[in-house]
């Protein structure tokens, strides 16, 4: 016999923690297939009666003009903000990786600060600043705001990949006659790509999940999915939110698997 | 002076990163066309910094680097056309061997057929035919270094720099690669500037060796000269084994001086311009000291107790206390059987003045 009472208690505790963490998320999934407009399991659902289950909330989301606009907004803002954050974050990380750069840690801290500043603070600050520039309640404004929030993730992941990058490779490329542009695209970028991509995914997820900045900065035209869910909960209690939530969970799962796959790939590359 | 211009020239080059400590100090060095020149020195002696300045990765704080008689201060590394080999190989890990080799040729916009032909030739040169589709991580360390060497040669540079290229290999492979690099050097006739801290490697491979210490060149000479005629105490001890004796000059007669080492008087070959009363350091190779010579053979003959004997296979290393040195070593070839001398024996030793070089102490050379 291995373990004993102590070990069993320990395992039970671990399982309880997992249930506590996961259950509120997982319970949303079956509820989203509810045939009735309730947020609870109906008797029919518990009996596994096929009639008690339906895709009606998914259909209503797909047909609803507001949800569709929210999806388009989320994707447009997310993609643009991610592109911006990825380019800026990668460039910043490349510069910060140069040991000759002056004041590296200060610049690094400044770049990372949006991650640690409470979002409500930066959102409020951005709102007043962007308002005076006429950027509040515009797509451009929201894209810039989300890019600022996403850049730190790119800086961190690219910096981490650069730590394992052999700087001699760039010297060799130069000695072989390649200019900086060619050296970057042919040698450096393929090797740091896993870091760039996972940073981009984090930046996209940040924008895709973000609600506080959108509440401040976005008008009706800039409603994203989280903002629409917020409205859905407050204004029209409809299980359509659960359908959207399930889709978001599926997206998050896919996203995490991709990041993990990239991490393993770059770990393997670093070993070689 | 040599009328033909040097291929590479360092003209009064200094390098400092912080403006205080000079990594390289007032360096003057000329490398001849087709020469195999090694920069040898302990780590931190400035030899790699010199190589990096030559490649263009570092900029001299003062002085000029000339290649083919032209100052290259404003020429970026990619326009210098120099092949560089690093200790860690620095192969592009995401490219096959073939792509690694074709990289410098594609940069130069050569035709595909031309590229293929040159890649094949380079692979033949390093004896890696048929490896072009392998990835670097599928190769052994020695094979990776061959690829790195082939890549540095494939675009036919006239100058190749190697920074401790064999440092990561085990001893057997290192000796094999030393031979390979020498063969390639002879075949192609390129100029090679080679950096190493391994004095045996430097001796085995080079036409000339520049010995570095503390950012300065101590001596530049062919390996034999460095061993037989060191001009600095550092060189005498860094290249091979040497005994050091310290004393003051008692008298000078032509090339030979007599030196008081405290309790004994030694006559030595005066290398440095020293006068009576000056401090000198004497160097004598352990293998040039004769054990139990016929009395009167040498002008330097002393009696001393044997402090210790170490058996090293092909020779015995005997440690004596003599002429003010508690650690005077002599080497006895293992031909007579090693029972000949025992610890505690009083033995007579001797050497000729010409094998004993009187040098200026290193402390007096700023």
User: Does the beta-carbon distance from A175 to B83 stay under 8 Å?
Assistant: yes
Structure tokens at B311: 């058996």
The mean-pLDDT minimum among A59-68, A258-267, B56-65, B316-325 falls in: A258-267
Model-wide pTM > 0.90: no
Contact criterion met (CB below 8 Å) for B57 and A135: no
Residue B102 CA to residue B150 CA, distance in Å, equals: 10
Contact criterion met (CB below 8 Å) for A153 and A116: no
- Residue A23: helix, strand or coil by DSSP? helix
Strands (E), B72-154: 82-85
Report yes or no: A173 at the B interface, CB cutoff 8 Å. yes
- Which pLDDT score, from 0 to 100, does residue B255 have? 87
Contact criterion met (CB below 8 Å) for B271 and B312: no
The mean-pLDDT minimum among B181-190, B234-243, B343-352 falls in: B343-352
The angle formed by the CA atoms of residues A88, A199 and A152, to the nearest 5 degrees, is: 55
Q: Which option is the CATH number for B8-233: 3.30.70.20, 3.40.50.1220, 1.20.1270.360, 3.40.50.300?
A: 3.40.50.300
Domain ranges of chain B: 8-233, 241-364
Count of A-B CB contacts under 8 Å: 63
A161 to chain B, minimum CA–CA distance in Å? 15
Burial class (CB in 10 A: 0-12, 13-18, 19+), A194: buried
Q: Closest residue of B to A100, CA-based?
A: B17
Report yes or no: B165 at the A interface, CB cutoff 8 Å. no
A173 to chain B, minimum CA–CA distance in Å? 8
Helices (H) and strands (E) in chain B, counts: 8, 20
Report yes or no: B270 at the A interface, CB cutoff 8 Å. no
User: Does the beta-carbon distance from B86 to A175 stay under 8 Å?
Assistant: no
The mean-pLDDT minimum among B269-283, B327-341, B346-360 falls in: B327-341
The class that CATH gives domain B241-364 is mainly beta
Structure tokens at A205: 């997820």
Residue A175 CA to residue A159 CA, distance in Å, equals: 25
Helices (H) and strands (E) in chain A, counts: 14, 0
- Which pLDDT score, from 0 to 100, does residue A237 have? 74
What value of ipTM does the predicted structure carry?
0.82
Report yes or no: A187 at the B interface, CB cutoff 8 Å. yes
Structure tokens at B20: 């205080």
User: Does the beta-carbon distance from B77 to A171 stay under 8 Å?
Assistant: yes
- Which pLDDT score, from 0 to 100, does residue B1 have? 47
User: Does the beta-carbon distance from A171 to B55 stay under 8 Å?
Assistant: yes
- Residue B333: helix, strand or coil by DSSP? strand
Q: What is the DSSP string of B25-67?
A: EEEEEEE-TT-EEEEE--TTSSHHHHHHHHHTSS--SEEEEEE
Tens of pLDDT, residue by residue over A36-56, are 888 888 888 888 888 888 888
Question: Which residues in chain A show pLDDT less than 50?
Answer: 1, 272
Average pLDDT for B215-231: 94
- Which pLDDT score, from 0 to 100, does residue B261 have? 86
Nearest partner of B161 among B12, B27, B39, B23, judged by Cα: B39
The mean-pLDDT minimum among A37-46, B113-122, B277-286 falls in: A37-46
By Cβ distance, the residue of B55, B78, B135 closest to A177 is: B78
- Which pLDDT score, from 0 to 100, does residue B311 have? 85
- Which pLDDT score, from 0 to 100, does residue B4 have? 65
The angle formed by the CA atoms of residues B46, B52 and B55, to the nearest 5 degrees, is: 145
Report yes or no: B59 at the A interface, CB cutoff 8 Å. no
A67-237 adopts what CATH topology? MetI-like fold (1.10.3720)
User: Does the beta-carbon distance from A166 to B77 stay under 8 Å?
Assistant: no
A166 to chain B, minimum CA–CA distance in Å? 7
B222 to chain A, minimum CA–CA distance in Å? 29
Res. B338: pLDDT tops 60: no
- Which pLDDT score, from 0 to 100, does residue B366 have? 58
Tens of pLDDT, residue by residue over B140-199, are 989 999 999 999 999 999 999 999 999 888 888 899 899 999 999 999 999 999 999 999
Report yes or no: B17 at the A interface, CB cutoff 8 Å. no
Report yes or no: B155 at the A interface, CB cutoff 8 Å. yes
């Amino acid at each position: 016999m291995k373990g004993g009472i102590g070990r069993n208690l320990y395992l039970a505790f671990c399982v309880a923690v997992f249930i506590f963490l996961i259950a509120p998320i997982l319970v949303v999934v079956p509820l989203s297939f509810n045939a009735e407009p309730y947020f609870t399991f109906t008797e029919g659902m518990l009996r596994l009666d096929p009639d008690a289950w339906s895709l009606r909330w998914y259909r209503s989301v797909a047909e609803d003009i507001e949800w569709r606009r929210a999806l388009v907004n989320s994707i447009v803002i997310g993609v643009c903000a991610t592109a911006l954050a990825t380019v800026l974050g990668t460039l910043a990380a490349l510069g910060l990786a140069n040991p000759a750069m002056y004041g590296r840690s200060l610049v690094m801290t400044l770049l990372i600060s949006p991650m640690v500043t409470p979002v409500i603070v930066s959102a409020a600050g951005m709102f007043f600043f962007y308002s005076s520039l006429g950027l509040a309640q515009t797509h451009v404004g929201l894209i810039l705001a989300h890019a600022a929030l996403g850049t730190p993730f790119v800086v961190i992941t690219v910096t981490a990949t650069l730590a394992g990058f052999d700087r001699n490779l760039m010297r060799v490329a130069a000695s072989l006659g390649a200019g900086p542009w060619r050296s970057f695209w042919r040698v450096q970028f393929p090797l740091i790509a896993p870091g760039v991509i996972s940073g981009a995914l984090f930046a996209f997820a940040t924008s895709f999940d973000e609600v506080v900045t959108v509440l401040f900065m976005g008008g009706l035209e800039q409603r994203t999915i989280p903002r629409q869910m917020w409205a859905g909960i407050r204004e029209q209690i409809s299980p359509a939110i659960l359908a959207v939530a399930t889709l978001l969970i599926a997206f998050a799962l896919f996203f995490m698997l991709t990041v993990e796959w990239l991490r393993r790939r770059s770990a393997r590359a670093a070993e070689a | 002076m040599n009328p033909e211009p040097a291929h590479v020239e360092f003209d009064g080059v200094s390098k400092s990163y912080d403006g205080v400590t000079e990594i390289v100090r007032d360096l003057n060095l000329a490398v001849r066309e087709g020469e195999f020149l090694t920069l040898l020195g302990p780590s931190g002696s400035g030899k790699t910094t010199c190589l990096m300045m030559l490649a263009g990765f570092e900029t001299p704080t003062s002085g000029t680097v000339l290649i083919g008689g032209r100052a290259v201060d404003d020429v970026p590394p990619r326009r210098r056309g120099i092949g560089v080999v690093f200790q860690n190989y620095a192969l592009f890990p995401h490219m096959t061997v073939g792509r690694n080799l074709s990289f410098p040729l594609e940069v130069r916009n050569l035709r595909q057929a031309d590229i293929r032909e040159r890649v094949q030739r380079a692979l033949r040169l390093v004896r890696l035919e048929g490896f072009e589709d392998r990835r670097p991580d599928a190769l052994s360390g020695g094979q990776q270094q061959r690829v790195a060497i082939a890549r540095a040669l494939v675009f036919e540079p006239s100058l190749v720099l190697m920074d401790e290229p064999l440092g990561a290999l085990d001893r057997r492979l290192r000796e094999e690669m030393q031979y390979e690099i020498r063969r390639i050097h002879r075949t192609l006739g390129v100029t090679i500037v080679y950096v190493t801290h391994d004095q045996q490697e430097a001796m085995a491979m080079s036409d000339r060796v520049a010995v570095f210490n503390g950012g300065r060149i101590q001596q530049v000479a062919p390996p034999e000269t460095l061993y037989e005629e060191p001009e600095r105490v550092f060189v005498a001890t860094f290249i091979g084994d040497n005994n050091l004796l310290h004393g003051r000059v008692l008298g000078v007669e032509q090339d030979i001086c007599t030196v008081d080492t405290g309790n004994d008087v030694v006559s030595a070959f005066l290398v440095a311009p020293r006068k009576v009363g000056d401090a000198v350091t004497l160097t004598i190779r352990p293998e040039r000291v004769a054990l139990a010579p016929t009395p009167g053979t040498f002008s330097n003959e002393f009696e001393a107790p044997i402090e210790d004997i170490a058996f090293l296979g092909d020779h015995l290393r005997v440690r004596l206390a003599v002429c003010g040195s508690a650690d005077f070593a002599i080497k006895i070839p293992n031909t007579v059987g090693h029972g000949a001398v025992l610890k505690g024996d009083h033995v007579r030793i001797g050497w000729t003045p010409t094998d004993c070089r009187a040098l200026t102490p290193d402390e007096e050379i700023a």
